Amino acid sequence: MWAMYKGICDYFGVATTWGMYSSELISHDIPTSLKAGQTVQAHITMRNHGVLWNSDRQFRLGAVGESDPLSAATRVQVASEVAPGNSVTFTLTLTAPSRPGTYVTDWQMVRDGYTWFGDVVRQFVVVEAVDSVPPEIAFVTVTPNMAAPGDSLLVEVDATDDRSLASVTVEGLPMSHVSDRIWSRTISAAAGLGEHPLAVTATDTSGNTTPASGAYTVASILWASSQSLNQDDIIALLAGQYLFSTWGRVTSVTVDGFALQGASGETVQVRAPGHTFGQGHFVAARGRWDGNATPPALICQPQHVRRLD
Distance CA 96, CA 124 (A): 12
Phi and psi based region of residue 77 (left: phi greater than 0; alpha: psi -120 to 50; beta: remaining): beta
Among 133, 154, 178, 293, the residue binding Ca ion under the rule CB under 5 A is: 133
Q: Closest separation between CB of residue 132 and Ca ion, Å?
A: 7
Nearer to Ca ion, 68 or 204 (CB): 204
Listed ranges 47-55, 84-92, 125-133, 291-299: which one lies at the site for Ca ion (CB under 5 A): 125-133
Secondary structure of the chain in the HEC alphabet? Answer: CHHHHHHHHHHHCCCCCCCCCCEEEEEECCCCEEECCCEEEEEEEEEECCCCECCCCCEEEEEHHHCECCECCCEEECCCCECCCCEEEEEEEEECCCCCEEEEEEEEEEECCCEEEEEEEEEEEEEECCCCCCCEEEEEEEECCEECCCCEEEEEEEEECCCCEEEEEECCEECEECCCCEEEEEEECCCCCEEEEEEEEEEECCCCEEEEEEEEEECEEEECCHHHHHHCHHHHHHCCCEEEEEEEEEEEECCCEEEEECCCCCEEEEECCCCCCCCCCEEEEEEEEECCCCCCEEECCHHHEEECC
* Binding range to Ca ion, per CB under 5 A, among 10-18, 131-139, 220-228, 288-296: 131-139
Nearer to Ca ion, 6 or 163 (CB): 163
Query: Using CB under 5 A, which of 24, 106, 131, 266 touches Ca ion?
Result: 131
Span near Ca ion by CB under 5 A; candidates 136-144, 201-209, 223-231, 265-273: 201-209
Q: 128 vs 266, which CB is nearer to Ca ion? A: 128
Where in 240-279 is the site for Ca ion (CB under 5 A)?
none
The least CB distance from residue 134 to Ca ion, in Å, is 6
Site for Ca ion in 141-200 (CB under 5 A): 161-163
Q: How far is the CB of 131 from Ca ion (least distance, A)?
A: 4
CB of 47 within 8 A of CB of 109?
no
Residue whose CB is less far from Ca ion, 33 or 241: 33
Which residues are CB-neighbours of 141 under 8 A, at least 6 positions away? 155, 156, 214
Residue 162: CB minimum distance to Ca ion, A? 5
- The single residue among 68, 156, 158, 204 that binds Ca ion, judged by CB under 5 A, is 204
Number of chain residues interacting with Ca ion (CB under 5 A): 6
What's the closest the beta carbon of residue 32 comes to Ca ion, in angstroms? 21
Nearer to Ca ion among residue 162 and residue 232 (C-beta): 162
With CB atoms as reference, the residue minimizing the distance to Ca ion is: 204
Say if CB 205 and CB 165 are below 8 A apart.
Answer: yes
> Residue 137 Cβ, how far from Ca ion at the closest point, in Å?
13
Q: Which stretch binds Ca ion (CB under 5 A): 87-95, 127-135, 188-196, 285-293?
A: 127-135
Q: Does 202 bind Ca ion (CB under 5 A)?
A: no
In the bound state with Ca ion, the residue whose beta carbon lies nearer, of 119 and 131, is: 131
Q: Which residues bind Ca ion (CB under 5 A)?
A: 131, 133, 161-163, 204
